[in-house]
Amino acid sequence: MLWVKSFHIVFVTSWFAGLFYLPRIFVNLAMMPPESVAERERLLLMARKLMRFTTMLAVPALGLGLWLWLGYGIGRGAGNGWLHAKLAVVVLILGYHHACGVLLRQFVRGTNRRDHRWFRWFNEAPVIMLVLVVLLVVVKPF
């Protein structure tokens, strides 16, 4: 079980690294002047590759988490409300990940309507969600 936990933590950490960096690329894309075609294409390439890699990391992170939950029974029984709260936050994180994909497609099509300030705020969401997950797992308040 400790091996599964260890790999779960590594994959989740790597997944979050991508979720932290991808919106920073969006900030740069939103600030890009229309005449900077080469720079825009390079940032889009970086964003596409990062999105693909981040998605590839999310799959084992979620799979190992499910293994811990269903296979080892972590979080089952009385006094484990923290896991339900954590799973709710994980659903929010998955929604954020999906939203990043939608925003990337908007940049690719050239239909983004948001400015760089919006993306700076959007970039803060995964930090808040990560703090919630860590607090729920370590403190187990419920």
Residues that constitute the known binding site for heme: 8, 86
Place of tokens 């659903």: 91
Which residues contribute to the annotated binding site?
8, 86
Four-point Cα dihedral 66, 67, 68, 73, nearest 10 = 90
Residue with tokens 């919006």: 118
User: Considering only CA atoms, which of 50, 62, 68 is closest in space to residue 5?
Assistant: 68
Q: Is 101 within 8 Å of 47 (Cβ atoms)?
A: no
